[in-house]
């Protein structure tokens, strides 16, 4: 499965303290994720090789994860280092855990279930430059658990034409719904997707806005389940704002979502920025959880599109080109 070769976000790094173990669901599989006393991260299928007990029921002792049933100790590389019932025995590779890759980026923990993708762009967790430095707030919003597929969530993030109808008064105005033409480029694993020249009229494009403005958007899709936008209202020359959407496909139609927001905050608190993002996402959720099919149709014949959907259509083709099968309706025939 191609999805196993992608890095996927699983939790905020700050939420997994040293000595903690948690159960997570990734691409329909149960995974145990833990951090040792010294801070090393480890992840493995959530099943003890001895008698099938979830490893996430166990606990961390020093550098070992200790199974809750018979107390076998596993080191951060997965090696079994102690079988309490047989203290003189040195366990071998048969008792070891098949660990998966785990790493930290953008203040989040990421896992990859299989070998690295050969395309550089996909061989690491997605890049996010975003503004940084004095006057810039950088914060993680979420997680939001949503009952739909990750590709439906990503496509919604790339969709300009819904603003006036789903976010009236903030991101859009139903009286000004026109989407001027824009350009889309890329579409291969080595390129991701980019859209330039996107514009939408927004009554209140963010927490700081006090009046409506035409807002310029730039989008990129660095990986199948992640997307990034940069936006700037016309006339706000010093304003910087970029939002990354990172999703974890837990099941084909169950997705965990985070937004990494980096923006000129002009004195607004993280809590205020988060509250604005919460309102926007709850408006999106109502549509996202009602769309059918919940998996994204990749066959262009299954839904009717228009020119304003150019980026959505390019996203669907990108998923198809990569061979993504999780959370999508396959192309038949
Ligand atoms: S089931 Fe894990 S040690 Fe026995
Ligand atoms: Fe939306």
Are 292 and 159 in the same domain? yes
Q: 1-35 pLDDT, tens per residue?
A: 899 999 999 999 999 999 999 999 999 999 999 99
| 69, 80, 81, best to mutate for ligand 1 pocket (most atoms within 8 Å of CB) | 69
Give nearest CA residue, ligand 1 atom 1. Answer: 51
Q: 285-322 pLDDT, tens per residue?
A: 999 999 999 999 999 999 999 999 999 999 999 999 99
Are 103 and 228 in the same domain? no
Q: 128-181 pLDDT, tens per residue?
A: 999 999 999 999 999 999 999 999 999 999 999 999 999 999 999 999 999 999
Atom of ligand 1 nearest to the CA of 51: 1
* Ligand 1 centroid – CA 326 distance (Å): 32
Burial of 12 (0-12, 13-18, 19+ CB in 10 A): middle
Per-residue pLDDT at 278:
97
Average pLDDT over residues 246-265: 97
Cα–Cα distance, 250 to 24 (Å, whole number):
8
pLDDT at position 333 over 80: no
Are 240 and 294 in the same domain? yes
Q: 52-92 pLDDT, tens per residue?
A: 999 999 999 999 999 999 999 999 999 999 999 999 999 99
Are 59 and 155 in the same domain? no
Q: Is the CB of 236 under 6 A from ligand 1?
A: no
Are 110 and 204 in the same domain? no
Are 56 and 204 in the same domain? no
Percent of the chain with pLDDT over 70: 100
Cα–Cα distance, 47 to 244 (Å, whole number):
33
Tell me which ligand sits closest to the C-alpha of residue 69.
1
Are 86 and 68 in the same domain? yes
* Ligand 1 centroid – CA 48 distance (Å): 6
Are 135 and 109 in the same domain? no
Are 24 and 60 in the same domain? yes
Per-residue pLDDT at 331:
86
Atom of ligand 1 nearest to the CA of 67: 2
Per the structure, the count of domains in the chain is 2
In whole numbers, what is the pLDDT of the chain averaged over residues?
A: 97
Are 186 and 314 in the same domain? yes
| 21, 32, 44, 50, best to mutate for ligand 1 pocket (most atoms within 8 Å of CB) | 50
237: pLDDT confidence band, cut at 50, 70 and 90? confident
User: Considering 50, 82, 116, which residue would you say is the last residue of a domain?
Assistant: 116
- Domain encompassing residue 97: 2-116
Radius of gyration of the chain (CA): 22
Are 206 and 59 in the same domain? no
CATH of residue 19: 2.102.10.10
Give nearest CA residue, ligand 1 atom 4. Answer: 70
pLDDT at position 332 over 90: no
Atom of ligand 1 nearest to the CA of 48: 2
pLDDT at position 330 over 90: no
Are 175 and 45 in the same domain? no
CATH of residue 313: 3.90.380.10
Cα–Cα distance, 117 to 323 (Å, whole number):
13
* CB 182 within 8 Å of CB 199: yes
Q: 188-218 pLDDT, tens per residue?
A: 999 999 999 999 999 999 888 889 999 999 9
pLDDT at position 51 over 70: yes
DSSP 112-149: ESSSPPSSHHHHSSPP-----STTEEEEEEEEEEESS-
User: Considering 73, 91, 116, which residue would you say is the last residue of a domain?
Assistant: 116
CA dihedral 53, 55, 61, 63 (to 10 degrees): 130
Q: Is the CB of 50 under 6 A from ligand 1?
A: yes
């Amino acid at each position: 499965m191609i999805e196993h070769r992608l890095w996927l976000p699983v939790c905020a790094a700050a939420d997994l303290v040293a000595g903690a173990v948690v159960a997570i669901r990734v691409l329909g599989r149960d995974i145990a994720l833990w951090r040792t006393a010294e801070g090393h991260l480890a992840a493995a299928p959530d099943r003890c090789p001895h008698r099938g007990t979830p490893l996430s029921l166990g606990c961390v002792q020093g550098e070992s994860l200790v199974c809750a049933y018979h107390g076998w100790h596993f080191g951060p590389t997965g090696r079994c280092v102690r079988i309490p019932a047989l203290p003189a025995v040195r366990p071998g590779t048969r008792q070891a855990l098949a660990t998966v890759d785990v790493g930290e980026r953008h203040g989040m923990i990421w896992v990859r279930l299989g070998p690295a993708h050969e395309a550089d762009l996909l061989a690491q967790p997605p890049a996010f430059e975003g503004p940084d430095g004095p006057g810039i707030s950088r914060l993680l919003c979420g997680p939001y658990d949503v009952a739909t597929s990750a590709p439906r969530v990503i496509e919604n993030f790339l969709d300009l034409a819904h603003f006036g109808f789903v976010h009236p008064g903030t991101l859009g105005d139903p009286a000004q719904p026109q989407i001027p033409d824009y350009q889309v480029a890329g579409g291969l694993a080595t390129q991701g997707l980019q859209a330039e020249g996107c514009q939408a009229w927004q009554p209140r494009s963010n927490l700081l806005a006090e009046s409506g403005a035409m807002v310029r958007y730039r989008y990129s899709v660095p990986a199948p389940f992640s997307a990034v936008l940069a936006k700037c209202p016309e006339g706000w020359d010093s304003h910087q704002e970029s939002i990354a959407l990172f999703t974890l496909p837990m099941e084909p139609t169950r997705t965990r979502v985070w937004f990494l927001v980096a923006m000129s905050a002009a004195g607004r608190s993280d809590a205020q920025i988060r509250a604005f993002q919460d309102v926007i996402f709850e408006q999106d959720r109502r549509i996202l959880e009602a769309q059918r099919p919940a998996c994204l149709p990749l066959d262009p014949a299954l839904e009717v599109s228009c020119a304003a959907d150019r980026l959505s259509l390019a996203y669907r083709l990108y998923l198809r080109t990569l061979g993504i099968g999780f959370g999508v309706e396959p192309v038949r025939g």
